[in-house]
Amino acid sequence: MSFFSLDFSRKKEREVERKLRANDREYNLSFKYATNAIKTSKYNLFTFLPLNLFEQFQRIANAYFLFLLVLQVIPQISSLSWFTTVVPLVLVLSVTAAKDAIDDINRHRSDNQVNNRRVQVLIDGELRGERWMDVQVGDIIKLENNQFVTADLLLLSSSEPLNLVYIETAELDGETNLKVRQALTVTGDLGDNIDRLAAFNGEVHCEPPNNRLDRFMGTLTCAGQKYSLDNEKILLRGCTLRNTEWCFGLVLFGGPQTKLMQNCGKTTFKRTSIDRLMNVLVLCIFGFLACMCTILAVGNGIWEVNEGSQFTVFLPRQEGGNAAFCAFLTFWSYVIILNTVVPISLYVSVEIIRLGNSFYIDWDRKMYHAHSDTPAEARTTTLNEELGQIKYVFSDKTGTLTQNIMTFNKCTINGKSYGDVYDYSGQRLEITEDTETVDFSFNPLADPKFLFHDHALVEAVKLENQEVHAFFRLLALCHTVMAEEKNEGELIYQAQSPDEGALVTAARNFGFVFRSRTPDSITIVELGEQQTYKLLAILDFNNVRKRMSVIVRSPGGKLSLYCKGADTIIYERLHQSCSKLMDVTTEHLNEFAGEGLRTLALAFKDLDEEYFSQWKQRHHEASTSLDDRENKLDQLYEEIEKDLLLLGATAIEDKLQDGVPQTIEQLSKADIKIWVLTGDKQETAENIGYSCNMLREEMREVFVISGTSPTDVRQELRNALTTMKPDTAEDTHFLQERTLGKGMKAIRDEVVNGEYGLVINGHSLAYALECSMELDFLRTACMCKAVICCRVTPLQKAQVVELVKKYRQAVTLAIGDGANDVSMIKAAHIGVGISGQEGMQAVLSSDFSFAQFRFLQRLLLVHGRWSYLRMCKFLRYFFYKNFTFTFVHFWYAFFCGFSAQTVYDEWFITLYNLVYTALPVLGMSLFDQDVNELWSFQHPELYVPGQLNLYFSKTAFFKCALHSCYSSLVLFFIPYAAMYDTVRDDGKDIADYQSFALLTQTCLLIAVCIQMGLEMAYWTAVNTFFVLGSLAMYFAVTFTMYSNGIFLMLPSSFPFIGTARNTLNQPNVWLTILLTSILCILPVIAYRFLWIQLRPTINDKVMFKVRQAKATPPPPPRRTRMRRTSSRRSGYAFSHAQGYGDLVTSRRFLRRPAISRSSGLTPKGRTTTGFSPMGRSAGYSPTGRPQNTKVPEVEVTSLQMYRTVRDPVF
């Protein structure tokens, strides 16, 4: 942790421009740049004790008990021994310090693990293995394939042609798509020549450290020439090198100054809302304590003046003492006596309860993920009850909601749908893990991981259905995938998007294997025959076109254009002869979209040689034009992409994690709002929103905010506001009665008719988060049922969370799995990390972690709700029993001359909170539950009271204080009246102080134990033992301490000799105990009965259902695959980036020339007749298994019903 002076100097000397020189450590050290070591820990060996104690004494109660300890060492005012305070205080401080030390040790281990990774650094003309923490700005380092990037680097050279490298940025932006970076030619020529690299002395001038992941500005000066640097030449820390044998880079930023660490946000000390409320209440209690002590001190002064002079004969005053001085001393004496209104055992108990509830999360087998061997883990023990109050959940998409695995599920080809499985009666079967899969053993090049269940499609391929062949040929040719074949037949596809990879893999398994490519050719294996197509043009994808096309020449010389894209876009460009096929395909697309699948239409056309030659010339002119190049190219693309012939459509499932739709539905029923913050493109995010039931067709409208200027964004937000609430006013959305302090107003909840969704992209969000617009954005978003922010940076994620925290009086939770989610996780009240495929950064920064998003509903609806309920019951009961205990002292002061005499035996005062009432309240706080977990899932609305703070609030606290006041009056005056002028059975006087003290404390303990029984909703053997055992312990200890033997051992410490046996053997004493107990609990029972009858809560209603069901849990809901019935289709199935086609045709991506390979398939004969059977022919099944028969909705026996596709090869 930095000293304040250092922090001040750093802020004063803010870096404006970074200057560095390669291979010159002495020059670079003069600027005092940060090293590459990172530090997320808070303490070290020397600062731990002072800093930790400083943090702990920021808790008001701890400071109060320290002050109390000082008072108790003053003999004139101390009426209790000093050890009654110091022992519990030291215990609390020690337990908390130990817990904080363990947490920080784990952070140190994590830091050491990262800092001690090894990397090759070029030092003194040779490569040396160095630790990451020892790397300096200006060093040249060597990275190898699959290594993490050590620091923010300027790429110098690589093993790939044209100095390209491929990186995966999952930990930065959540995307697993490969990105391409390219070095400058001047540095690329250095290659891996160590001597030339060591002699390189280029100077870099660039921007200072910042958190912008999408931009970089700088210049490289080398050999007197200046070269421009941008983001395409930078490798950021957190990326992973892929498919690149080696590369060299120059360190620009290290450690805390890297863009990854700049986006991580600050580690803040998180407190629960109950902790914050407790601080306020403790201040109120201190004020109330001061009032009571003042009243009693004034009473003592009056008593000394009026009555005290009569006692000076046998109770002389000290020298200099007078009534005022006695009153002053009495004030501080009562501060000590009445300190039990806030006993330190409260904080000991709170820590134990939180620890116990944390263990429940760690031990929960239903949150254990067997596949990855990952249990749930409560990484902090201070936030459990906050899990029961969550109002907003901010979730990442990739790796959190989805597995980032695309699967080719279904397709429609020439009007016939494939992918469903039917039984012999034609009924569609649900596909499960046990459903039989298609056997691809006929294809040696098939991907063994690919699964498909409809045998009809592979039979159509084997029977040489021309439409099916053309369909898969298009998928094998129309893409920008790169193939890698290290061993013969072992193909590895590197796709820019996982959905494009899924389509090419599907074609591969069905016999159309993409094998290799050059800038002007694509080699595929078609059913065993290797074919090389000449690649003439790639009409690349962008967000406006929503399609991509390739123009190829077949081995037979035929020119063809293959196109795939959004169905709405493709349909506009189809030939009119496809109208009937288009209608049938549309029905299939609606079915696919209803299941949440991402659809893509496929079409093609044959091209005329003469026309294409002219078009190619115009294309070349447009592509080299300096003016309006993009519009000219778009016009050419529009011209050639028309009169297409429809082949069919694909349906890809972006596989959600198990149980995501059900979890989101359950959380929505619990009135928890879910916002998705993702780095993915808008189309992909929307598709997932529909797949997981966040966005629904039933919504009145889904607003898309995509403005490119502040004015546009503001107008779009206000249009959305007006649509949802036409009569809305400008300034009516603030809470008039509540503010958040420092002049900040809280935004109130607004009710709108119907459900709405909001989708906003990163550029628009940057404007929306500006001070002048943030309230409009927040108000609009809070009125929507679902919010999706796409293309957002890690820092924007944190800013959105901070905005909600700032203006909404609600508890937030952020959940993610990658390093790009760390800042969001740190910013939220609760951070949850998912142990995913993107490293452990999110888990290391989180408060709770588990393996699957679906466990979130159990964490919140079961563990969170129970923890909150238990903590609130604990606090209500704890304050009740201690206020009641303390108020009896207050009433007694009026009968003891305000002398600060205690009404109870001193040993009872010491043991009341530590022994007699500790275990029952802990038992309730660890085991109690209003309903079991199945009923909690059955009724998610049980979660709502926690969001509204209904179980414990200032109102509940004052009700508790009033209840305690009533009970203390009963507990003091009933025994007082019963003992007044009373004699025993044998005629001896019983009305002495010791007998009264014993009777009062016995009535108190029994009354609070009965009250405990009324609070508990779930009795266990442990709870019963604790309650009855505490009463038994009280009587055993009382009779022991009041016995003759103990008195003879220590007469001064045990003065109540014989009191227990002489008092508790009288019938009138037990009748008094019974009467007092009844009078204490009678109003409670009456109040609860009337409240349940007149204004039952959701808990009362559900518990009534439980009793009606005779405490038998409802049957667990069946986990079925949720199907949507909407007609909404995705605009485009790809999370694709613009410009990738240019890279493919520019010779920039190639490794080395592809060698001629033998095909992996035996050539199949082809039919030369005009007949190409669809599906099965005359019951023939090449698989030799019973066929899946289907009653077709559309007759497809004749190929001429739509059209016949000619094989462009022949």
**What's the mean pLDDT when you consider all of the chain?**
82
Report the pLDDT value the prediction gives residue 128, as an integer from 0 to 100: 93
Q: For position 510, what pLDDT does the model report?
A: 94
How far apart CA 985 and CA 990 sit, in angstroms, is 10
Asked if 695 and 788 count as a contact pair (C-beta separation under 8 A), the reply is: yes
Q: CB-based contacts of 541: which residues, under 8 Å, 6+ apart? A: 547, 548, 565, 1132, 1134, 1136, 1138, 1140, 1141
Confidence of residue 180 (pLDDT cuts 50, 70, 90): confident
Torsion over CA of 862, 866, 868 and 870, rounded to 10 degrees? -170
Give, as one character, the DSSP assignment of residue 384: G
Q: Are 633 and 650 in contact (CB under 8 A)?
A: no
Q: What integer is the mean pLDDT of 635-655?
A: 91
CA distances to 148, 509, 523, 524 from 1158, rounded to whole Å, are 36, 18, 12, 11
Q: How many CB atoms lie within 10 A of CB 1006?
A: 18
Higher pLDDT, 62 or 1: 62
| Banded pLDDT at 1189 (limits 50, 70, 90) | very low
**319, pLDDT greater than 70:** no
Residue, of 1200 and 213, whose pLDDT is higher:
213
- More confident site: 1156 or 66: 66
The yes-or-no verdict on residue 1148 having pLDDT over 60 is no
Q: For residue 1176, what pLDDT band results from cuts at 50, 70 and 90?
A: very low
Q: Report the range out of 723-732, 750-759, 1022-1031, 1159-1168 with the highest average pLDDT.
A: 1022-1031
Selecting among 100, 139, 173, 396, the annotated active-site residue is 396
- Residue 459 has which token pair? 């039979």
User: What residues contact residue 87 under an 8 Å CB cut-off, 6+ apart?
Assistant: none
Average pLDDT, stretch 1191-1198?
38
pLDDT tens-digit readout, 123-152:
988 999 999 999 999 999 999 998 999 999
DSSP letters for 597-658: PEEEEEEEEE--HHHHHHHHHHHHHHHT-SSSHHHHHHHHHHHHS-SBEEEEEEEEEEEEPT
- The pLDDT, as a whole number, for residue 1165 is 39
Confidence at residue 379, expressed as pLDDT on a 0 to 100 scale? 86
Listed in order, strand segments (DSSP E) in 1022-1175 are none
- Condensed to tens digits (0 to 9), the pLDDT of residues 929-966 reads 988 899 899 999 999 999 998 999 999 999 999 999 99
Dihedrals φ, ψ of 744, to 5°?
-85, 135
Whole-number pLDDT of residue 963: 95
Given a cut of 90, whether residue 511 has pLDDT beyond it is yes
**Local confidence band at 1071 (pLDDT 50, 70, 90 cut-offs):** very high
Whole-number Å distance between alpha carbons of 1005 and 31:
70
Q: Is the dihedral of CA 451, 452, 457, 463 positive or negative?
A: positive
Please tell me the distance from the alpha carbon of residue 1133 to that of residue 1118, in angstroms, as a whole number. Answer: 31
What number of residues does the chain have?
1210
* pLDDT value of residue 517: 84
Active site annotation includes 454: no
Tell me what percent of the residues of the chain surpass a pLDDT of 70: 85
Residue 630, C-beta contacts closer than 8 angstroms, at least 6 positions apart: none
Sign of CA dihedral 445, 447, 452, 453: positive
pLDDT value at residue 587: 92
- Report yes or no: 595 and 687 within 8 Å, Cβ to Cβ: no
Q: CA-CA distance, 785 to 798, in Å (whole number)?
A: 21
Q: What is the pLDDT of residue 1125?
A: 47
pLDDT of residue 800: 94
Given a cut of 70, whether residue 908 has pLDDT beyond it is yes
HEC secondary structure over 849-867: EECCCCHHHHHHHHHHHHH
Predicted confidence band at 875 (pLDDT cuts at 50, 70, 90)?
very high
Structure tokens, 984: 């025993």
pLDDT of 1193 strictly over 60: no
pLDDT in tens, 752-764: 888 899 999 888 9
So what's the pLDDT on residue 84? 61
Q: Are 1185 and 436 in contact (CB under 8 A)?
A: yes
Closest by CA position to 230, among listed 238, 221, 218, 239: 218
- Torsion, CA 328, CA 331, CA 337, CA 340, rounded to 10: -150
602-638, pLDDT tens digit by residue? 999 999 999 999 999 998 888 777 677 778 888 999 9
Model confidence band, residue 278 (pLDDT cutoffs 50, 70, 90): confident
Q: For residue 1061, what pLDDT band results from cuts at 50, 70 and 90?
A: confident
Tell me the one-letter amino acid at 579.
S
Secondary element (H or E) of residue 162: none
The pLDDT of residue 1124 is above 50: no
Residue 175 has what pLDDT?
A: 62
Structure tokens at 721: 């506001």
- C-alpha angle with apex 770: 768 to 773, nearest 5 degrees? 60
Furthest C-alpha separation in the chain: 133
